[in-house]
Amino acid sequence: MPLSMYQASVPVFVRGLEGLSAILAKAAAHAETKAIEPGVFINARLAPDMFPLSRQVQVASDAAKGCVARLAGVEVPSYPDTEATFLELQERIAKTAAFAKGFTPAQIDGSEERTVTLKMRSGDLTFRGQDYLLKLALPNFFFHVTTTYAILRHNGVELGKMDYLGKPA
């Protein structure tokens, strides 16, 4: 059986969001155990011109919810980017995962050829649904999840590869 657009999107985003939640939980526990102000991690970045951890999580969330909504042909929900604590970031991740889980295969499958247009400051970007998923949305999502992991690991949170990958399904 061929891989469907649903299978290549919703479960992948949900698993990535669950992994993101797990590494943030480890970071919160690490901060508490080591008496580190959580804001140190929330505001940490790998380089001065990169987004801080909070924004990395927000963009990962935006990538996931935006992709599944666009593939289903529905309005992308807007979440304010106001999260400043681990709890608030966890709530955003949970809300994003719940949104993604709310879609059925029938809503996503068949979107390979759907036109997806992104409004960018530099101008519109238009994709076929499959190209949008595989060449932009998933790479962008995983870039920000990976960067969150790297920020935390760089700042001493004891994370390993399996924390990133999660438990096998």
Tens of pLDDT, residue by residue over 46-91, are 999 999 999 999 999 999 999 999 999 999 999 999 999 999 999 9
Beta partners for 118? 125
The pTM (predicted TM-score) of the whole model is: 0.95
User: Which residues fall within 8 angstroms of residue 52, CB to CB, at 6 or more apart?
Assistant: 42, 43, 44, 45, 151
CATH 1.20.120.450, domain 5-165, yes or no: yes
The closest alpha carbon to 101, from 25, 9, 2, belongs to 9
Tokens 């994709």 sit at which residue?
127
Position 165 confidence tier, pLDDT thresholds 50, 70, 90 = confident
Extents of the domains making up the chain: 5-165
Tokens 């996931």 sit at which residue?
64
